[in-house]
Chain A
Amino acid sequence: MIGCPNCRAIQPDDAVNTDELSWCPVCDTEFRIDVFPALYLKPEHQAPGDSIINDGIHHGQAECFCHPGKRAVAPCSSCGRMLCSLCQVGVHGQSLCMSCLESGKEKKKISFLENRRTLYDNIALLLSLLPVLVIFPTLITAPVAIYVCLRYWRTPLSVIPRTRIRFVAAFLFSMGQIVIWFLFISERVNLL
């Protein structure tokens, strides 16, 4: 059943997939709803789970690395261990074992498993820009921003396309602040 996105009132069949805006007769909200065949798919009846007990491999057949005595169906694409149907995880057309999947996620080698990344370029840019409002913290934050730029320059920035322009801007801006501080302090020292 398709409800109005605003009031959840059930909408008539002809208000869906019209490619035009429709009005909810109850709350008068303008909306458009596109429905796809996945909505009508009934959950498939799953086969019962595979057992981990010995399924009697024959001589010459490969056995699973984790379940000795169980027939292997595929090697791991990363480490090459033989995997049974229980251990094999299909990820984007590859067969992986659980340990490779886990380490790939932790070491960020499988980008489509990542759900969070730290934006060090944004941090560096904010460190170089925000303290300018109150001037004096720039004495500390400018070197910190330069450190962040240099330390994380080679770190992958984002899963989606992103340039390193923020790093460059933060570096140049922080260098400018340091030069200004240097000139200011040297002038003060000369005056004394």
Chain B
Amino acid sequence: MIKAGKFKYEKLHSKWFCVFINRKLWLGPDHLLVSEAVISHERYKRFSLNDIQVVFLKHSISYCIWNTVWGLLASLFGLIFLFSSGANSFAGALAGGFLIALLINIYHGPVCVLYLQTAVQVQKITAFTRRKKALRLMDHIKKLVEQEQGAVQKSVRPNLLNPDS
């Protein structure tokens, strides 16, 4: 009987609601596991902590897109509410709802995407994560990888612009 695989994964990052792909990040004994759940099945990708070369984070444009969408909808229904004959309470309620959505989006701040690079691939590990949360997660991953590989020392680090040096 093969006894391997009895460890328990620790959750590093997840979202309670996703429209298409629910991507979660888990920590195993010596690896990170990215699980991507669609409706009927779940796919797994494992990354050994020893193989991770780079983790990078970049700002996503979706924050601006959602701000624009909520702002436009709030303005549109706000104008209908103001200029329609009689008090159009339905348009007013919709305008208020979209305005609240806009304010919530602004309050939560910019959105980031986190990627992980190994020698053979670049994998998106989180999508649509708020900046504060993404930075915290990045710090956590950095700590975990450095426990396995050690930290990069600036004195011995080759010049990244000239890899032959």
Contacts and interface: CB of A to CB of B under 8 A. Distances in A.
B138 A32 contact: yes
B65 interface: no
Interface string A98-131: 0010001000011110111111001100100000
B35 A30 contact: no
Contact of B157 (A12, A21, A40, A119): A40
Interface string A118-156: 110011001000000000000000000000000000000
Contact of B26 (A39, A126, A160): A160
Interface stretch (B36-44, B66-74, B79-87, B97-105): B36-44
Contacts of A39: 53-54
B19 interface: no
Bin the interface of chain B by size: 35 or more
A81 B65 CA distance: 60
Given A35-B53, A38-B149, A109-B2, A30 B59 contact: yes
30 contacts: A1-B161, A2-B54, A19-B139, A19-B142, A30-B58, A30-B59, A31-B58, A34-B54, A35-B53, A36-B54, A36-B55, A36-B152, A38-B52, A39-B53, A40-B152, A40-B158, A78-B2, A92-B4, A92-B5, A96-B2, A109-B2, A110-B5, A111-B4, A116-B43, A117-B42, A118-B41, A122-B39, A159-B33, A160-B11, A160-B33
